[in-house]
Amino acid sequence: MAASLSDILSALKNGVIAINGLISSYAANLLAQSALTTSYSILYTANTSSRVYVNDICVCNTTGAALSVYISLVPLNGTPGASNALFYNASIPAYSTLQWTGTQVLNSGATIQAYASATGCTVNISGRAAT
């Protein structure tokens, strides 16, 4: 039985999409929330039995000076750096926020690692585990 337009719009409004009987929820969860340090640290590790979809990263500079941030999506047993950077030397003006929205996939055991040029940045990362 075909879904009505009203059913489809309600499903989209509630963050659920149904296609040919398959249902997938796009509701995001907070994956990580942390203050950045001045060397790479692991903010999040994907569970070894699933993939994770990263949908939003928000970095806030709480200081009175511009700071640079580095955020890498690092594969299992990898090293963070330019080869897997999502942000690399991205400047955030004083008292400002840098936000990225999209879709990146972390495979099993992959990590999100980050640091800032000085203390004073906080990061919030949202996404969801693959179902």
Query: Which residue range is the domain that position 114 belongs to?
Result: 28-129
CATH number of domain containing 94? 2.60.120.260
> With bands split at pLDDT 50, 70 and 90, how would you rate the model's confidence at 12?
low
pLDDT at 55: 96
**Per-residue pLDDT averaged across 28-38, rounded?**
95
Closest CA to 129 of 65, 46, 63: 46
- From the CB of residue 89, how many other CB atoms can be counted at a distance below 10 Å? 10
Write the burial class of residue 31 (CB in 10 Å: 0-12 exposed, 13-18 middle, 19+ buried).
buried
d(CA 1, CA 44): 42
Number of domains, the chain: 1
Confidence of residue 50 (pLDDT cuts 50, 70, 90): confident
92-114 confidence digits (pLDDT tens): 999 999 999 999 999 999 999 99
Q: Is residue 4 part of a domain?
A: no
List Cα–Cα distances, 36 to 5, 51, 111, 116, in angstroms.
45, 24, 15, 6
